[in-house]
Chains A and B, each alone.
Chain A
Amino acid sequence: MTERMWRPRSLQSSYDVVIIGAGIHGLATAYYLGKRHGVKKIALLDKGYLGSGNSGRNTAILRSNYRTPEGIPFYDASVKLYEQMSQELGWNVLFSQCGHLTLAHTDSSLIGLRVRAENNQVLGVDSKLIFPDEIKRMVPAIDISSRARFPIMAALYHPPGGVIRHDAVVWGYARACDRMDIEIHPYTEVTGIRVEKGRALCVATTRGNVAAGAVLNVTAGWASTISKMAGVPLPIVSHQLQACVTEPLKPFLDKVIVSATLHVYVNQTDKGELVLGAEIDPYQSYSMRSTLPTLEQIAGHTLDLFPQLHGLRVLRQWAGVCDMTPDYAPIIGRAEEVENFYMDVGWGTYGFKAGPIAGQCTAELIATGKTPALIQAFSPGRFRAGRLVGEKAAAAVSS
């Protein structure tokens, strides 16, 4: 008899924790609340199907070769959780630690990569600069010649980086949550939050109201709309990020390739398709309708790296709405204005890789009231205090 991954449930009138958004951040938080802290009366509410937000739209690149002393250990911890995830969940999330190359085509990006390599090495993350000959050895398909308009000068090579099957992560967590009787409610849109005397009491949804001991906002592109419902301001703007996928070819590329100068990233899945991503579109938008100019740019820049692929066809193009913060670092913590309103947002273009550790830390914060050291730098109060995180240079290329 086939076992169901998760069961349909009826919505109850009250929960200890109501999590708004059933993407990876919501699911991971629920999972750790249940698993580590024994909180079970949890509802995950999502307006769409499971993984319908960015968790099902991203290019699923995982890495920890960030730039700052705040970012590096945080992402490193996340990659380590990913490494154990298949075993822990009893469900293969297809994590392929194939190695990750960030290319530099200009002097300034080369220096930026060196800073990352250096900081990574000091903090124990495996990454180093390599130069064209070695790049070519690792990725024989790539064009390192000088005929390119912006020839490749170097790359940051990060062996533990790779790609994962994003849906598998979502489903694996959802199954594990379901096994702990944590309730997942797709098609349940949050329409309002009742706040009294600095506490969020009740969450209004399209399927009725639910009372909540604590409310967590993990809605990525919609983060500011939800936080507005609770009267909590967020310095977040939404931008579109697009990606596309090609027809399958026999595998020839087993590294993730990212180029900041060309604003493009490329990897080949186990099915043989190339997944190609871009930089965020420059203007603010909540639209999920993809655009032709961005697709053309992705294609052109992919050909700058792999000119021989000109005859390969793109099959699908899609967009997600990304929640961007001023310093390209997330906002994790409790709202200063509403005592039981938590957030784990601002994940922009890079938050899939952070899901497990952010979930683990957020769960700890909700369950114990204490902010774990790993997320202290990401507090909602940092903007007022003027303590921004300098991740822009490392996070700027989406992924």
Chain B
Amino acid sequence: MDIRFNGKAIPIQEGDTVASALYRAGQRIFTRSFKYHRPRGLLCCSGHCPNCLMNVDGIPNVRTCITPARAGMAVKHQNARPSLDFDYLAIAQQFDWMMPVGWYYKNFTNPRMWHLAEAQIRKVAGLGDPPPPDAPEAVYEHAHMQAGVAVIGAGPAGLNAAREAASQGERVVVVDDQPRTTPGDSSYTLLSRSYCFGLYEGNLLGVLQSEPHSGARERLVHIRAKRIVVATGAYEAPLTFKNNDLPGIMLSTAVWRLIHRHGIQPGTSAVIISNETGDSAIAAELRNVGIAVVATVPPSDVLEATGSKHVTGLRTRRGAFACDLVVMCGHRIPDAGLLSQAGAKLEWSAEAGAFVPTELPPNITAVGDVAHALVRAASTLVSMPNKRTFVCFCNDVTSQDICDSVAEGFDHIELLKRYTTTTMGPCQGRMCQLQAIGICARETGRAIQETGVTTSRPPNPGVTLGALGGARHHPIRRTPMHYQHEELGAVWMDMGDWKRPRYYKSAQTERESILREYHAVRQAVGVIDVSTLGKLSLKGRDSGKLLDKVYTNRFSDLKPGRVRYAVLCDEAGIILDDGTISRPLADARGYNTGDPGGTRSVAPSVSAGTIDDFFITTTTGNLDFVEQWLEWWLAGAGWDVQINNLTSALAAVNLAGPKAREVLSALTSCGLSNAEFPYMACRNAEVAGVPALLMRIGFVGETGWEIHYPAESGEHLWSALMDAGRPFGICPFGVEAQRLLRLEKRHVIVGVDTDALTSPYEAGMAWVVKHDKADFIGKFALGKLESAQAQQSLVGFTMNANQIPEDGAAILVNGALAGRVTSARYSPAVEKAIGLAWVTAGAAAEGAQIEIRVAGAPVRATVTQRVFYDPDGARLRM
């Protein structure tokens, strides 16, 4: 059983972490430091410090000291070239005088110099190598839990709290980062190898679980708890003295773990730095495994460590001691990050030598070391300025740097943090925050309490993007006829979550395919799936009232059996959405009857409905908004209206073209003649045996019907139309052909031709605003806009020559910016490119000459307000 380290086989044992296996195999340097590339070795063995980060199986910056070793793992060092033992960039230490704190702010003030310098800095910056773009993906997932009590930390205090809560009948979840197994009395649920990284609003805990099962790398568990018990204990942080970062200088917890968890003897002769007088517990541990304890010295007596790539001794006021292991009994710091995220205050306790949490928010308690800080100060926090006394291991910030910064005026802990970058490294300040505060307090002459801590921010510890992102299934919305489109060769486009056929690939090129669809509609018959339209039904006595209030035109007077175009504006008179509103026919009693002649079918929108019913369509993207908008204006009005969202319940198609009537008549007994079913009428009828609501409307400019019918019959009716249409050359058409067809009719698409500032007046749709209505949303603003001089107008244009501008092209008048093209296409009817454009008021006159940028060069075009195809609408009424 091996892992591979830089290609070399390293044996592993049961219970090994990657770091313990490497240490046993003799590895002492695990990383090179961020700025000076100093050698660094194991320090905390608890996943708290930055000293053991390596690349494991292609993933950079992995904490090897808490990563279980598994046979076959590929481990590589990072941030050292060519090797950890010999790193060219270690030369940086010799130039530290060039790089005092904030050196980059004070140099390269010439932009060109900075440009050059930055390129060099970027060559050496960073830690791990980014995985290549084709690196394998991994499985991550989310999960959610509800708990009565969540306990963070399964130490004695946490487990006590858990048992107690469980005995009171609470549902208890315990979270712990160690690999533990639930003891016999599983009165609580244990998430082991899981750490809590954030405590968010509403008692939401973010918990990261490693390898929840063999198929997933990590799982992010969201726990909502009524009560939270924080039992995270305390962790140990290093002491500051010269060369305190040499490999071989370890925290006592690290030494303990190497010995007890991994059966490793971490050195041969050790010096212990501890405030405890007499024989400390750790000394006994060391002797037990055969390590000679050379001396125990208090922190205040330590002068410096010696050695270059590994510690060789410790110089103290009590003399110099040779050793290959220095054990720091460091500061014990209550792990109170979660509490302070939740809003607890951290207060300095001189006797504990620690910041302890106070003023806990309701439903959050703290137990054990994190709360009581029965911990004892390891040492005074004072360390003298020195360029080799490391405060922040992650970012190579020394005590000298901190003192210098304070002297420069960065004397608030938040400023100090940002200027020196202390606490901003991968360990998130665990190893350095307290020391930095101590030095800041001394240098400013303020008390530690007054100096304060920096804001604790989640996630802490850090969380992978993968775990945060979760399974990452982007939902896809498919219409009922999705797979029929696919069989017909649809080329898809995304509209929100929807997939819609952009066109059907029926010819060599996209352009030819679209033209084929276009000509089918103009000359024979075409059918398009419009199921993505928003569909709402309104029932109740006051439906007409609500529509009059919310839409700019009038609907209360809409005759049964009729359809009307509808525009919706906000209070500022800006167009928000458009669509159609139909009022199905009703019988003498006021009930909907279905088709005028018969009693056979009851159409979907109006089943068991009455004369008060309306059926609204909205644009694809705005359904949710329109539904909420209607609900919003209905709320509190006391009106009798029920709004029902039928979007997913109904499929819809638009059948259009000179042969549309013939195709449809093969499938329905509903009278389709102009007399029976005039333009802008609606009827309920069966089509191919399916109850449907038919509207005779004409977005694309040909005789046609929009048919709404139950989604479960989506494929059936589509097939029936295709079959019935085959003799007439029916052709399914997609969004692109539809856009071209409607452009020739100069129909506006809200959101394409309008934007967040468009009013109906500027869009040339003054007729949709009915000012004689009592009140409606936007009335006041629209009243003002009606009389105001429009600053810009939506106009049509025809290119003078053969170029085709792109959507979005700029419009120039006398060389100055004067507008933009919203839609432009080659029009087979006009035999030139045509389009819609916003132009400044001065350029909006009929026949005005404008210039449109095509491939960057201005090209002439003529403004027109006329409809490009069938201006009288004769074809709609054929």
- Contact flag (A, B; Cβ within 8 A): yes
Shortest Cβ distance from residue B502 to the other chain A in the assembled complex, whole angstroms = 9
A249/B466 in contact, CB under 8 A: no
Q: Is A225 in the interface zone, CB < 8 Å from B?
A: no
From 349 to 376 in chain A, residues with beta carbon under 8 angstroms from any chain B beta carbon are none
Q: Is A92 an interface residue (CB 8 A)?
A: yes
Most B CB contacts (10 A, CB to CB) among A50, A298, A316 go to A316
**A393 touching B755, Cβ below 8 Å:** yes
Interface assignment of A307: CB less than 8 Å from any CB of chain B: yes
Contact flag A313-B104 (CB < 8 Å), given A5-B408, A112-B808, A118-B808: no
Within residues 507 to 542 of chain B, which ones have a CB less than 8 A from any CB in chain A? none
Where the two chains meet, the residues of B that have a C-beta atom closer than 8 Å to any C-beta of A are 34, 58-62, 79, 104-111, 114-115, 118, 121-123, 125-135, 137-138, 140, 142, 198, 200-201, 204, 206, 220, 222, 341, 404, 407-410, 412, 414-415, 418-419, 421, 424, 426, 428, 457-466, 468-470, 472, 474, 476, 493-495, 572, 751-752, 755-757, 781, 784-785, 788, 791, 806-810, 812, 817, 820, 822, 853, 856
Closest B residue to A48 by CB, please name it. B414
Q: Are B426 and A310 in contact, with the CB atoms below 8 A?
A: no
Is the beta-carbon distance between B110 and A2 smaller than 8 angstroms?
no
* Of B408, B465, B474, the contact of A299 (CB 8 Å cutoff): B465
Most buried by A among B58, B122, B137, B412: B122
Q: A250-B125, A300-B472 are in contact. Are A309 and B465 (CB under 8 A)?
A: yes
Neighbouring B residues of A119 by C-beta, 8 Å:
810, 817, 820
CB distance from B495 to the nearest CB of A (A): 8
Partner of B200, one of A86, A291, A309: A291
* B114 interface neighbour in A51, A94, A113, A326, Cβ under 8 Å: A94
8 Å CB contact of B820 from A118, A271, A290, A300: A118
Pick the residue among B61, B114, B115, B133 that contacts A249 (CB under 8 A). B61
Interface centre among A2, A3, A113, A167 (most CB of B within 10 A): A2
Any chain B CB within 8 A of the CB of A189? no
**A314 and B407 within 8 A (CB):** no
A310 touches B200 (CB 8 A): no
Return chain A residues, CB-CB under 8 Å to B341.
Answer: 289
A198 to chain B, nearest CB (A): 27
Stretch touching chain B among A15-23, A30-38, A216-224, A384-392: A384-392
- Min CB distance, A70 to chain B, in Å? 11
**Lowest 6 CB-CB distances: which A-B pairs, in order?**
A272-B126, A114-B808, A310-B466, A299-B468, A313-B462, A311-B59
- Which residues in B have their C-beta under 8 angstroms from that of A289? 200-201, 341
Q: Is the CB of A315 within 8 A of B131?
A: no
CA distance A252 to B111 in the complex (A): 22
Mark A246-273 against chain B: 1 for CB-CB distance below 8 A, else 0: 1111111010000000000000001110
User: What are the residues of chain A within 8 A of B115 when measuring CB–CB?
Assistant: 97
Q: Which residues of B contact A39 (CB under 8 A)?
A: none
Query: 7 pairs across A/B with beta carbons < 8 Å?
Result: A86-B114, A249-B60, A289-B200, A296-B469, A299-B469, A303-B472, A310-B464
CB proximity of B833 to chain A, nearest CB, Å: 16
Decide if B469 touches A312 in the complex (CB within 8 Å).
Answer: no
Closest to B495 in A: A106
Chain B residues whose CB sits within 8 angstroms of the CB of A271 once the complex forms: 125-126, 421
B409 to chain A, nearest CB (A): 4
The answer to whether A94 and B105 have CB atoms under 8 Å apart is yes
Q: Is A312 a contact partner of B428 (Cβ separation < 8 A)?
A: no
Please, which residue of chain B has its CB at the minimum distance from the CB of A172? Answer: B105
Given A118-B809, A317-B457, residue A312 in contact with residue B470 (CB < 8 A): no
Is residue A143 within 8 Å, beta carbon to beta carbon, of the partner chain?
yes
Expressed in whole angstroms, the Cα–Cα distance for A212 and B253 within the complex equals 59
Q: Do A86 and B810 have beta carbons less than 8 Å apart?
A: no
A6 touches B409 (CB 8 A): yes
Chain A 51-93 near chain B by CB (<8 Å), digits 1 or 0: 1100010000000000001000000000000011011011111
Contact of B121 with A270 in the complex, beta carbons under 8 Å: yes
Asked whether any CB of chain B lies closer than 8 Å to the CB of A149, the reply is yes
Q: Let me know if B60 and A95 touch, CB within 8 A.
A: no
Residue of A nearest to B415 (CB): A49
- Interface assignment of A4: CB less than 8 Å from any CB of chain B: yes
> A250 to B468, Cβ gap below 8 A?
no
CB–CB B61/A315 < 8 A: no
- Asked if A114 contacts B806 (CB within 8 A), the reply is yes
Chain A residues with CB under 8 Å of B123's CB are 251
Indicate if A286 sits at the interface (CB-CB under 8 A).
no
Is B198 a contact of A167 with CB atoms below 8 Å?
Answer: no
Q: How far is the CA of A165 from the CA of B845 in the complex (A)?
A: 50
Q: Is the CB of B114 within 8 A of A4?
A: no
Q: A114-B809, A310-B137, A311-B464 are in contact. List 8 more A-B contacts (CB 8 A).
A: A84-B111, A92-B108, A108-B751, A122-B817, A171-B105, A250-B125, A295-B459, A392-B757
- Report the bound CA distance from A168 to B791 in whole Å: 42
Complex CA–CA separation, A69 to B426 (angstroms): 44
Q: CA separation between A251 and B118, bound complex, in Å?
A: 11
The complex places the Cα of A299 from the Cα of B463 at a distance, in Å, of 10
Q: Is A196 an interface residue (CB 8 A)?
A: no
Kindly list chain A residues whose C-beta atoms are within 8 Å of the C-beta of B126.
248-251, 271-272
In the complex the two chains form, is B125's CB within 8 Å of A270's CB?
A: yes
Report if A2-B404 is in contact (Cβ < 8 Å); known contacts: A303-B465, A311-B60: yes
Is A111 located at the chain interface by the 8 A CB criterion? yes
Given known A-B contacts A249-B127, A250-B128, A91 and B133 have beta carbons under 8 A apart: no
If A171-B105, A311-B131 touch, does A251 touch B60 (CB 8 Å cutoff)? no
**List of B residues within 8 angstroms of A141 by Cβ:** 130, 133
Q: In the complex, are the beta carbons of B133 and A310 less than 8 A apart?
A: no
Least CB distance, A4 to chain B, in whole angstroms:
4
Q: A5-B408, A316-B428 are in contact. Are A307 and B756 (CB under 8 A)?
A: no
Q: Within the complex, which residue of B476, B755, B788 is in contact with A386, where a contact is CB–CB below 8 Å?
A: B788
In the complex, chain B residues whose CB is within 8 Å of the CB of A307: 137
A353 to B533, CA, bound (A): 40
Contact B118 A386 (CB under 8 A): no
A232 interface contact, C-beta 8 A: no
Question: Is B457 a contact partner of A318 (Cβ separation < 8 A)?
Answer: yes
- In the complex, chain A residues 297-351 whose Cβ is within 8 Å of any chain B Cβ: 298-300, 302-304, 306-318, 326-327
Q: Roughly how many angstroms separate A17 CA and B868 CA in the complex, as a whole number?
A: 61
Q: Is the CB of A314 within 8 A of B105?
A: no
A186 to B426, CA, bound (A): 30
> CB distance B808 to A313 under 8 Å?
no
Question: Measured between C-beta atoms, what is the minimum distance from A347 to chain B in Å?
Answer: 19
A56 to B131, Cβ gap below 8 A?
no
Chain B residues with CB under 8 Å of A121's CB are 810, 853, 856
Q: A5 to B410, Cβ gap below 8 A?
A: yes
Among A123, A254, A300, A393, point to the contact of B817 (Cβ < 8 A): A123
- Most central of B118, B131, B222, B469 by chain A CB within 10 Å: B469
Does A208 belong to the interface (CB within 8 Å)?
Answer: no
Compute how far the CA of A96 lies from the CA of B460 in the bound complex, rounded to whole angstroms: 29
Chain A residues whose C-beta falls within 8 Å of the C-beta of B414 in the assembled complex: 49, 52
Contact of B755 among A95, A287, A390 (CB under 8 A): A390
Contact of B494 among A122, A150, A186, A392 (CB under 8 A): A150
Q: Are B781 and A386 in contact (CB under 8 A)?
A: yes
Q: Contact: A308 with B129, CB < 8 Å?
A: no
Known: A5-B409, A95-B111, A308-B132. A303 touches B466 (CB 8 A): yes
A386–B460 Cα distance when bound, in Å, is 47
Whether A3 lies near B463 (C-beta < 8 A) is no
A171 contacts across to B, CB distance below 8 A: 105, 419
Against B, the Cβ 8 Å flags (1 = close, 0 = not) of A94-132 are 111100000001111011111101110111000000000
Q: Are A108 and B129 in contact (CB under 8 A)?
A: no
Cβ of A46 to closest chain B Cβ, rounded Å = 12
The distance in angstroms between the C-alpha atoms of A267 and B755, with both chains bound, is 30
A392 touches B756 (CB 8 A): yes
Known: A69-B817, A122-B810, A250-B127. A314 touches B459 (CB 8 A): yes
Taking A92-B106, A250-B126, A314-B468 as contacts, is the C-beta distance between A270 and B118 under 8 angstroms?
yes
Pick from B127, B788, B817: contact of A247, CB below 8 A.
B127
**B486 to chain A: closest CB distance in Å?**
15
CA distance A69 to B816 in the complex (A): 10
